[in-house]
Amino acid sequence: MVNKLVLEQYDIKQDEIEKELEEIIGSDSLEKIEAAFDTSIKNFDLGTILSGRILGVIGNNVILDTGYKSEGIVPLSEFDSPEEVEVGTDIEVMLESFEDDTGLIQISKRKADRIRGWEKIVNKYQEGDVVKGKVVRKIKGGLLVDVGIPIFLPASQIDIKPPGEIAEYIGSEVTCKILKIDEIQQNIIVSRRKLIEEERNKQKREFLDSVEIGQVVKGEVKNIADFGAFIDLGGIDGLLHITDMSWGRISHPSEMLAIGDEIDVKILDIDAVKDKVSLGLKQKTENPWTKVEERYPIGSKIKGQVVNIMSYGAFIKLETGIEGLVHISEMSWTRRINHPSDVVAIGDSVEAVVLNINKDKEEISLSIKQVEQNPWTNIEEKYPPGVTIKGKVRNLTNYGAFIEIDEGIDGLLHISDMSWSKKVAHPSEIIKKGEMIEVKILSVDKDKKRVSLGIKQLSDDPWKKEIPEKYHVGDIVKGKVTKMTDFGAFIDLSNGLEGLLHISEVSKEKIKKLENVISIGQELDVKIVKIEPEARKIGLSLRGIENTPEQAPESGQQEEKTDVNVTENVAEEKADDVKDEDNT
């Protein structure tokens, strides 16, 4: 046997060794020896497992004597640990090829180990058997587990739930079930998940056989969803719905539970066919609605916290599991409320009166406004007609102004009750928003919740005495044009007192367009031709007055005579209509 690695190591030439050997034993004897040796190894086939003895280590290779005419080498990396490499130790290797360029045979310890390991596994195990091994490394699609030979554990078969980073299993011992043995490809596929499922199914059956509805059991929070939490009861998961967690209001299960929490739950229902278990947490304590009437009798005052606001009202928490509704109509006696948030906010502490309890529907009706007396109850006694009071102008409209006379109570000051003599077009001519003014109570309607107010009633009606005494028919007075219509013009005489200058009283001649003769703001001397205190009217005329305007008749137009008295009556009716429209 010639170890060419040794010859190279010591710089010895093989032909010199052969020449010296031939001189010692003769050429014929050397040929006989070689022939005999060739005969002895003729049964060595590629792929055969040979027994070899370790001769030594050169570099990263282990030298073995396998009985062949030349030694074999095994890479040191094929040994699991350096302790295995000991001179004189016998190991098994597989013959991969005969002498190569180095004159050595190619052998593999790893392949021999795999073949022997495969034979051992196949002889010992069948599909369905359980094996234990150590996870050695991660490969595409799963893990390799060493059970004497590397076997494949797919990622989908590691656990009953997604395992996350499977590399965390490297170095750990796992127990698996053999799913498939492929002897041709020499592959084995195993499952850890299968064993877990079988164990859980066993525990499930044991659990379902040992428990009953109403029993309290221990469990671990396994998963949390918006609608509830799944509790691991040991072999089976039960559902703890969000509505069964607390008698009170919770928005999400995470407010009460966290994954991994160990809790005691009550079994509410068992569906043995579908293997479903319904659980309850709040059912471990008494329903707070059981004796609700005793704690919150109708008519009693309570204190609570606003926990929710809807468009129709606000929910008030009285205690855990007990909430009452304050309807929007029960929030204020006097205010017009568009939304409950105008009155309360979430988190506010409020006082309310219990109006009604529906124990079956678990509903309580509450009232905030009834904590105080209805201010309209004694409004007539507090503000009788004829009383003068002060109030704040809260709002102005086209038809009048709302005056706050008490907290939450407004009275209406109509535009027609602002002045005896002045024609008021808009309340802003008399009062301003936010101003404090003095008004008189005219009337109170408790049922309709209305109070009528007046400003002009604070003084005497000038038409009863002052105007008839100051103005007489035939008097010439000064005035200013304030408004014009198609039938005449209104003249301000003084202090808002207006008289009507009918178009027929402007000139002896027929006037087609009044604006061609007079204009708004123009000052005129006018004659009083009529005074009617009952109707509150003064008729005026420009005819016979020096400043009477003249209008030349248009070409082709013939002057027509008109019955003045009839025309005046029609004009006065129209003037009354204009005033009525302004006062509505």
For 492-520, the pLDDT digits (tens) are 888 778 889 898 888 888 888 888 888 99
Between 10 and 134, residue with greater pLDDT: 134
292-371 shares its CATH topology with 470-583:
yes
Cα(283)–Cα(265) distance, rounded to whole angstroms?
A: 8
574, pLDDT greater than 60 = no
When the candidates are 1.10.10.10, 1.10.8.60, 2.30.140.10, 2.40.50.140, the CATH number that belongs to 292-371 is 2.40.50.140
Between 7 and 267, residue with greater pLDDT: 267
Mean pLDDT of 213-227: 92
Look at residues 497, 521, 519, 493 and name the one whose alpha carbon lies nearest to residue 506: 519
Between 196 and 35, residue with greater pLDDT: 196
- In this prediction, residue 577 carries a pLDDT of 47
323, pLDDT greater than 90 = yes
For strands 105-108 and 72-75, give the pairing: parallel
Write the pLDDT tens digit of every residue in 124-178: 888 888 999 999 999 999 999 988 888 899 999 999 888 888 999 999 999 999 9
Write the pLDDT tens digit of every residue in 229-240: 999 988 788 999
Mean pLDDT of 292-313: 94
Cβ atoms of 87 and 54 closer than 8 Å: yes
Task: Identify the weakest region by mean pLDDT among 292-301, 311-320, 563-572.
Answer: 563-572
560, pLDDT greater than 60 = no
267, pLDDT greater than 60 = yes
- In this prediction, residue 335 carries a pLDDT of 80
99: number of Cβ within 10 Å: 15
38, pLDDT greater than 80 = no
Q: Which residue has the tokens 């038809």?
A: 399
- In this prediction, residue 16 carries a pLDDT of 65
Confidence of residue 103 (pLDDT cuts 50, 70, 90): low
Length of the chain: 584
Q: Is 281 exposed, middle or buried (0-12, 13-18, 19+ CB in 10 A)?
A: buried
**325 bridge partner residues:** 315, 365
Write the pLDDT tens digit of every residue in 50-84: 888 888 888 888 888 887 767 788 888 888 777 77
Confidence of residue 340 (pLDDT cuts 50, 70, 90): very high
Cα(89)–Cα(107) distance, rounded to whole angstroms?
A: 16
- In this prediction, residue 368 carries a pLDDT of 94
Return the SS3 of 8: helix
- Predicted TM-score (pTM) of this structure: 0.46
Residue type present at position 309: I
379-458: CATH class: mainly beta
Structure tokens at 74: 């095994």
- In this prediction, residue 37 carries a pLDDT of 52
CATH architecture label of 211-284: Beta Barrel (2.40)
102, pLDDT greater than 80 = no
When the candidates are 3.30.1600.10, 1.10.1740.10, 2.40.50.140, 1.20.1250.20, the CATH number that belongs to 126-196 is 2.40.50.140
- In this prediction, residue 210 carries a pLDDT of 83
Cα(207)–Cα(189) distance, rounded to whole angstroms?
A: 32
**451 bridge partner residues:** 444
Cβ atoms of 337 and 343 closer than 8 Å: yes
Mean pLDDT of 284-313: 92
304, pLDDT greater than 50 = yes
Cβ atoms of 422 and 456 closer than 8 Å: no
**491 bridge partner residues:** 481, 499
Mean pLDDT of 324-339: 91
3-state helix, strand, coil in the chain (%, to 5): 25, 35, 40
**353 bridge partner residues:** 301, 367
Residue 42's φ and ψ, nearest 5 degrees, are: -65, -20
**93 bridge partner residues:** 50
Write the pLDDT tens digit of every residue in 400-423: 999 998 877 889 999 989 988 777
> Per-domain residue ranges for the chain?
4-113, 126-196, 211-284, 292-371, 379-458, 470-583
Look at residues 201, 199, 202 and name the one whose alpha carbon lies nearest to residue 175: 199
Residue type present at position 422: K
564, pLDDT greater than 80 = no
Residues contacting residue 146 through CB under 8 Å, at least 6 positions apart: 133, 134, 135, 136
Q: What is the mean pLDDT of the chain?
A: 83
**528: enclosing H helix or E strand:** strand 523-532
Half-sphere exposure (Cβ direction) of 546: Cα atoms closer than 13 Å: 3
Residues contacting residue 337 through CB under 8 Å, at least 6 positions apart: 328, 331, 343
When the candidates are 3.30.360.10, 1.20.140.10, 3.40.50.720, 2.40.50.140, the CATH number that belongs to 4-113 is 2.40.50.140
- In this prediction, residue 549 carries a pLDDT of 54
- In this prediction, residue 193 carries a pLDDT of 93
Structure tokens at 89: 């130790």
Return the SS3 of 468: helix
- In this prediction, residue 17 carries a pLDDT of 60
Cα(245)–Cα(230) distance, rounded to whole angstroms?
A: 12
When the candidates are 3.40.1360.10, 2.40.50.140, 3.40.640.10, 3.40.630.10, the CATH number that belongs to 470-583 is 2.40.50.140
DSSP H helical segments within 445-563, as ranges?
Answer: 466-470
Mean pLDDT of 335-339: 88
Q: Is 432 exposed, middle or buried (0-12, 13-18, 19+ CB in 10 A)?
A: exposed
